[in-house]
Chain A
């Protein structure tokens, strides 16, 4: 009797793809945008990034330990969630609020559903939306980026001392300098207030304020293109998401450009770039089939614009993606590919 070899069902070969490698690669493609936020906001951004990622990893490890399951940090998903969450937060956010966000994202939105692959909603966005509703003031306090003076896109910037009192920029006791984001200005003061951004270049390069991942459309676009080139994502969701946003901006601004602004502004401000390439394309919470992806992306675009233009919040990407997440099972169900061999008998004999 010779030795026993491994018995297993075929195939006996594997293509080499790995879920962990996919997660770490997505994280890597976000690093340029994250680095840009650190350049713009300095330590205020770095602290949010590092602490949110660290808390996410901690809560992941803790929840696995409590559930007596193997540690899964190496699969990269908790770190990616932490990074994505951090990019949706404003610079200078207090540490403990970052921790609450990480807890909601990792434990409430993911671990309680059974961990990776089981969560119906995007964990990072769930964390962000919880924070936005629970702590509206800190979540909408926007630091002014490096390189801007007393005015940011024609609006005065506001200086605060450590106690939060508004002080003069020249007073010397300045602890933070804030101003509204482009979308905030649009919601509060109308289209003319963002007219200075009309050519779109500032928002594209990213010399603007906002959440860490709302600043440089260019760097997020590069990351997204890398994901496309590496075939980690397909074009369906980003394209249908952005095309829908652009189309609605074009139509509304065409109808009344005193109230509405055009597509360049809407595409490159707020969370559309990071949302379209990195949030809405999250495998676990988005449709699997091409037709479903197109529907999902278009749905995200419509909801984003409805919220931006007519609802109470200046920005709607997070809500839009989460609402569309809820539709994924039904979208998947109705967009399954037509299986091989269902071509009608009439043309079955056709062909070459």
Chain B
């Protein structure tokens, strides 16, 4: 069978063997959680509890501030210790609700629609999704209810579930598809109903044959298609996934809904089932903990707000032998200076890299080999754009497509001169966005 894929991309070693067979294991909730109010793209949630309040597991502690925002729930029961800035994943303090865990997991009352969802009004389902604080769990953490609310002039005919998990090392989605296949497909069916879409497709990379089989079994009579994708990075990037599965190209500067399509991560779909069928909010997620310094690599079910240090400790991570700590995968994850940040709804992995795995060496001059061009899934010319960005020629960089870059990092991965192209381009994009904001104000 011909595997579906896109043009460009790179083929990193997937390094998934360490955890691909590790069943999802709940990590006991820590004595204290620090729950960030900003775990999503959009406006941070507004804390709605104060120090000294008693909270129940699953109770709202942060209310969405506007439409593009998401509710935040207590991941443990106990007493609010403080509402204060704590270290965040971006290196800056973020507003957190700190809860002292009473260890009893006294839960708020969750009420979902049960199997009656299939007759429920789409608006009611959307409200349940929003109330549960769902965000995209593939890493970008875009509020899910917003994606489920396309404007009327953008009819959606296809929903794609993203089970590509093209980031090396990560196996969280893989395990969710294996262990929660029914919930994943129920979530997909719910999303399809909300959007009134005809087609529902799950895209899975070929390197997860057991997940493909499990999803096929579960999908048997649900009119859901399973699409087998080539193992290539960034196969799971939204635009590349849509291109591979549907053969549709999302317009430059556009959104998937412009081509009648919505993409959700498989983990998000399982969370949709939790939210709509059981009324259960999103306060925990599967995190792959891996890398050579980790003694017991695992796929852990971790409460949001758990300190990264606690997760690493539980898996026997050797911090002294760690050169780089990354939240997410190696291609797009966020490097951390220390272990102070806490797990959020978007944290798909905790990756420890040893000194041998990060010894990059200094960059050498560009020899115009064109490997970055071949690798770019957007078919940009990264070396040219990066060079313009570094020299501050942002208008020229914009003219040749810098804002179309999806920051997948394929160019820098492929560069034989080890030029930090993705970083140069990010810098340029940030400069252009800053200039736009300045203009808007003036």
Contact call B330/A341, Cβ cutoff below 8 A:
no
Contact with A along B402-422 (1 / 0, CB 8 A): 001001011011111110101
Judged by a CB distance under 8 angstroms, whether B150 is at the interface is no
Residues of B within 8 A of A310 (CB): none
Contact with A along B324-359 (1 / 0, CB 8 A): 111000111111111100000000000101000110
Residues of B within 8 A of A21 (CB): 416
Contact call B353/A12, Cβ cutoff below 8 A:
yes
Residues of B within 8 A of A5 (CB): 322-325, 335-338
Residues of B within 8 A of A75 (CB): 364
Judged by a CB distance under 8 angstroms, whether B246 is at the interface is yes
Q: Please report the C-alpha to C-alpha distance between residue A283 and residue B334 in the assembled complex, in whole angstroms.
A: 33
Judged by a CB distance under 8 angstroms, whether B426 is at the interface is yes
In this complex, how many residues of chain B approach chain A with their Cβ under 8 Å: the count is 74
Contact call A338/B333, Cβ cutoff below 8 A:
no
Contact call A351/B325, Cβ cutoff below 8 A:
no
Q: Please report the C-alpha to C-alpha distance between residue A154 and residue B426 in the assembled complex, in whole angstroms.
A: 66
Summarize A's interface: helix, strand, loop or mixed. loop
CB-CB under 8 A for A12 and B248, given A117-B368, A288-B370, A348-B258: no
Closest CB in chain B relative to A3 CB, distance in Å: 7
Judged by a CB distance under 8 angstroms, whether A170 is at the interface is no
Contact with B along A308-352 (1 / 0, CB 8 A): 000000000000000000000000000011111111010011111
Judged by a CB distance under 8 angstroms, whether B50 is at the interface is no
Contact call B246/A17, Cβ cutoff below 8 A:
no
Judged by a CB distance under 8 angstroms, whether A35 is at the interface is no
Find A9's partner among B353, B413, B417, B422 (CB 8 Å cutoff).
Answer: B422
Judged by a CB distance under 8 angstroms, whether A1 is at the interface is yes
Find B335's partner among A10, A17, A343 (CB 8 Å cutoff).
Answer: A10
In this complex, how many residues of chain A approach chain B with their Cβ under 8 Å: the count is 45
CB-CB under 8 A for A14 and B247, given A5-B335, A337-B379: no
Q: Please report the C-alpha to C-alpha distance between residue A1 and residue B422 in the assembled complex, in whole angstroms.
A: 30
Contact with B along A195-234 (1 / 0, CB 8 A): 0000000000000000000000000000000000000000
Given contacts A19-B367, A342-B251, A349-B259, 9 further A-B contacts (CB under 8 A): A5-B336, A7-B337, A10-B326, A12-B326, A12-B333, A341-B378, A342-B252, A343-B249, A348-B258
Binding site for B on A (CB under 8 A): 1-15, 17-22, 75, 115-118, 283-284, 286, 288-289, 336-343, 345, 348-352
Between A and B, 28 residue pairs with Cβ closer than 8 Å are A1-B338, A2-B338, A3-B320, A5-B335, A8-B423, A10-B326, A10-B333, A10-B334, A10-B335, A11-B422, A12-B324, A12-B335, A13-B331, A15-B414, A18-B416, A19-B365, A118-B365, A283-B367, A288-B368, A289-B373, A338-B379, A339-B378, A339-B379, A339-B404, A341-B250, A348-B259, A349-B248, A352-B245
